[in-house]
Amino acid sequence: MAITMGQGHESGLTPRESRLVAMEIDGVSGWVFSAVAFLVAFGVRYALNLDLPIGFPYLTFFPAVIITTFVAGLWPGIANAVAGGLAAWYFFIAPYGSFALNGNSALALGFYIFIVGTDIAILHVMSRALHRLAEERQRSAELARSREFMFSELQHRVSNNLQVVASMMQMQKRQINDPDAMKIVDEAIRRLQLVSKIQRALHNPHGQRIPLREFLNGMVPDVIEAAGGPPGITYDVTADASAQNVILTSEQSVPVGLIAAELVANSVEHGFNKRDRGHIDIHVGRAPDGRIALGISDDGHGIADDFELAKSRSLGMQIARAFALQLGGELSLQRDNGTRAMLIFPEGAGDDALFSDTNTLAGLN
Ligand SMILES: Nc1ncnc2c1ncn2[C@@H]1O[C@H](COP(=O)(O)OP(=O)(O)O)[C@@H](O)[C@H]1O
Ligand SMILES: [Mg+2]
């Protein structure tokens, strides 16, 4: 689902189309417009009478009919055409001052009727199509809005359910005596709560998806706190101009969120181990091939020189690697005045996999 669908104009029309519709008037004003247009056309035609060669009885009535039909609609347009035709016939076709007809003037009248009839018909059909289009667009904009609302509502419920599961685990933990087992359950609870938080953080209060940069900005302080970071730890989240508005799909947000959380937690737990200050730099950029490059670096102790991500058997890195794989991306860690982690993954198209479940953990063993 393209979350941007709701950005349509209120009327469901583009600005240019709305301007066209805004020029339309109806009711009594439409009839007044028609009458004024007729009088102007008549007056101008009358004033031109002396200058015109024979043969232009209808000249000024054509534009009056077209403008009236366009602005005031079908019936005022028809009335204008009839009045114009009759006036031209009576005043500007010889013999003047009568409705008498000869062959030529009958032909001219026939042309007049044909031309204004076609004009009115075309304008009418076009204006009806425009209105139908407006209605249709409005309907689909409403549909998109309600779908978006339902989706963010669903995210909240999922989030609440995860919270319930976490609370139940918290209660069951009381039956555990073994400190190692206790630590493992604590970790599991922490990850569940994080997923719950991620689900909730995907949308802003207006139900719109938020850009990755903003999403990380909201999440990172929580992770630092949960990892037991001392207050001396600072962070900042920046993005390249080309990546300012990167928005994750719903498929991507949980894996990206969890990877980022693992990396930030590691910076706090290992990078700044036994330190009371440190800085974490989070940057959203783009790889040369256009994929999204999420860099997370710290100025801590740095990973061991012989550290190999692919061989790491510890859970945090295993989870991160599995999620990177699911994203179709790559995760790398290197020593660089501390540790620099880089997650590169393709930008997700659309968001049509809304309700598909993520079998991420099935890939873990
Ligand atoms: N930012 C970092 N700074 C220093 N060492 C790190 C960093 N990230 C990871 N490591 C090292 O990599 C190991 C594996 O990390 P991880 O898989 O998250 O396991 P855990 O955090 O449970 O120890 C850590 O034990 C640590 O030695
Ligand atoms: Mg870890």
C-beta of residue 58 within 8 angstroms of C-beta of residue 85: yes
Of 2-16, 282-296, 302-316, minimum mean pLDDT range: 2-16
- Give the predicted TM-score (pTM) of the model: 0.64
Best residue among 184, 186, 266 to mutate for probing ligand 1's pocket (most ligand atoms within 8 Å of CB) is: 266
Say what the pLDDT of residue 81 is.
96
- Say yes or no to pLDDT of 137 above 60: yes
Question: Looking at the domain that runs over 210-363, which CATH code has it been given?
Answer: 3.30.565.10
**CA 305 / ligand 2 centre spacing (Å):** 17
Per-residue pLDDT, averaged over 206-215, amounts to 84
Report which ligand 1 atom has the smallest distance to the Cα of 314.
17
Report which ligand 1 atom has the smallest distance to the Cα of 319.
17
**CA 283 / ligand 2 centre spacing (Å):** 20
Atom 8 of ligand 1: nearest residue by CA position? 266
Atom 12 of ligand 1: nearest residue by CA position? 303
Report which ligand 1 atom has the smallest distance to the Cα of 341.
1
Say what the pLDDT of residue 208 is.
73
Share of the chain above pLDDT 70, in %: 89
Atom 9 of ligand 1: nearest residue by CA position? 266
Of 146-160, 251-265, 325-339, minimum mean pLDDT range: 146-160
Of 49-63, 82-96, 152-166, minimum mean pLDDT range: 49-63
- CA quadruple 261, 262, 263, 266: dihedral sign: positive
For the chain, the maximum distance between any two Cα atoms, rounded to a whole number of angstroms, is 116
- Say yes or no to pLDDT of 7 above 50: no
DSSP characters over 201-270: HTB-TTSPBPPHHHHHHHHHHHHHHHTT--TTEEEEEEE-GGGTT----HHHHHHHHHHHHHHHHHIIII
Count other C-beta atoms under 10 Å from residue 125's C-beta.
Answer: 10
Pocket of ligand 1 (CB under 6 A): 262, 266-267, 269-271, 298, 300-303, 307, 312, 314-317, 339
Nearest residue to 298 (alpha-carbon basis) of 205, 242, 224: 224
Q: What is the pLDDT of residues 26-58, one digit of tens each?
A: 789 999 999 999 999 999 998 887 666 666 888
Report which ligand 1 atom has the smallest distance to the Cα of 262.
18
Say what the pLDDT of residue 284 is.
97
State how far the Cα of 200 lies from the Cα of 4, in Å rounded to an integer: 19
Atom 18 of ligand 1: nearest residue by CA position? 316
Q: Which is more confident, 205 or 156?
A: 156
Say what the pLDDT of residue 357 is.
39
Atom 26 of ligand 1: nearest residue by CA position? 270
Nearest residue to 363 (alpha-carbon basis) of 331, 311, 327: 327
DSSP characters over 63-80: HHHHHHHHHH-HHHHHHH
Per-residue pLDDT, averaged over 327-341, amounts to 95
Outline which parts of the chain fall under CATH 3.30.565.10: 210-363
Q: What is the pLDDT of residues 310-321, one digit of tens each?
A: 888 888 999 999
Residue with tokens 């409705």: 99
Say what the pLDDT of residue 12 is.
62
Cis peptide, bond prior to residue 255, ω within 30 of zero: no
- Say yes or no to pLDDT of 1 above 80: no
- CA quadruple 106, 107, 108, 110: dihedral sign: positive
Ligand nearest to the CA of 337: 1
